[in-house]
Amino acid sequence: MDTLKIGRYIQHLRRSAGMTQKDLAEKLSISFQAVSKWENGDALPDTGILLDLCDVLNTTADKLLNGGNLAAGERRLMKLEDVITGFQYMESIGKLFGEDCSFFTGMIDGINEKMNIDLLTCLKDPKTREVMYAEVLIQGILSGRTVDMDEIEANFQNEKMIDTIRRYIAKADGDTQTAE
């Protein structure tokens, strides 16, 4: 562990929160000298207060102990609800800006060209829409994210899409285990 890097990260988070060393120390019921030692890289936070420190600084223990970097191999959860909301926002742009607005037409044309689809037609069909949700989730899995299969199984109608997502997760898990 790079204690200096960890210390700089603690200092950055503390300052970003508008706290002095004394403020942080008081929140944790410790001395400001202890905070100073962390920030100078002379010591690490005691495990007994690590989680409280993370709560106060609005970070996670793994991120703090990696000096602000996400731990290698960490896979963030991708929620189906967020994917659905993303598509709803895309549709809203046409309603809010006007379907003839160059921002909207440029976005749609770009997606159509990149994905080789007619997005607006696909969005009108619930089955095709579900396939697009699956595609976004699979792209997320391929880029290192994960999904909750219980959520997928509860909300997807297409069994083939469920199985496909399951296969991609298994492959990603296998790749992660191989890398370890």
Report domain extents, the chain. Answer: 3-65, 80-179
Q: How confident is the model at residue 36 (pLDDT cuts 50, 70, 90)?
A: very high
In the predicted structure, residue 49 carries a pLDDT above the cut 60: yes
In the predicted structure, residue 110 carries a pLDDT above the cut 70: yes
Res 145: pLDDT: 85
Res 180: pLDDT: 39
In the predicted structure, residue 50 carries a pLDDT above the cut 70: yes
Q: State how far the alpha carbon of 90 is from the alpha carbons of 44, 53, 95, 105, 111, in Å.
A: 46, 39, 9, 11, 11
Res 70: pLDDT: 60
Residue percentage of the chain with pLDDT more than 70:
93
Mean pLDDT on 172-180? 54
- Interatomic CA distance for residues 15 and 20, integer angstroms: 7
Q: pTM here? A: 0.56
User: Which position has the higher pLDDT, 71 or 169?
Assistant: 169
Check whether domain 3-65 has CATH 1.10.260.40, yes or no: yes
Mean pLDDT on 149-165? 94
β-sheet bridge partners, residue 77: 146
Q: How confident is the model at residue 74 (pLDDT cuts 50, 70, 90)?
A: low
Residue percentage of the chain with pLDDT more than 90:
71
